[in-house]
Structure 1
Amino acid sequence: MEDYIINVGKVEEWQMIRDIPSLDETFQRAKRVLVGGGTVVLERVQGDGTSYRFDEFTNLEDFEAYRRNVYKYL
């Protein structure tokens, strides 16, 4: 199964504008990938278009902690 990549810049944008449906959809997709044995990767895109991966999740417990942290600021 392919990695599911979450663009952290988009997550931060959705937090600022309180776009909860977009956050919910992203996290539901990520959870399905984890349940299927895949990896969820956090990626940040630079201003010049390059991106770098800075974290990844391979289990639901760690991912749920990240998800709760995102929703905590809404």
Structure 2
Amino acid sequence: MDADIRIVRGSASAEELAAVTAVLLAAARTRAAAPAFQEPAGATILRWPGADRAHRPAGTWLTTPAPHWRHAA
């Protein structure tokens, strides 16, 4: 549920603010209640390049230094 929240100037009634607050609170509680992913000990994880690597030519991410590789302890 990763999303950006944009706040702009405007006016809202107390009911509208309460509704927005309730939605944000429910989202925060849902996220907090979700179990964290636990990697098994000794696992080697390949991090597929995300949007931050989209500017690189195809195939170069395999031969570059390793921010997308991580070896679990």
Q: TM over 0.5: same fold?
A: no
- Bigger fraction of residues in helix: 1
Instruction: Look at both structures and tell me which one has the larger radius of gyration over its CA atoms.
Output: 2
Please report the TM-score for the alignment, with normalisation by the length of structure 1. 0.30
Please report the TM-score for the alignment, with normalisation by the length of structure 2. 0.30
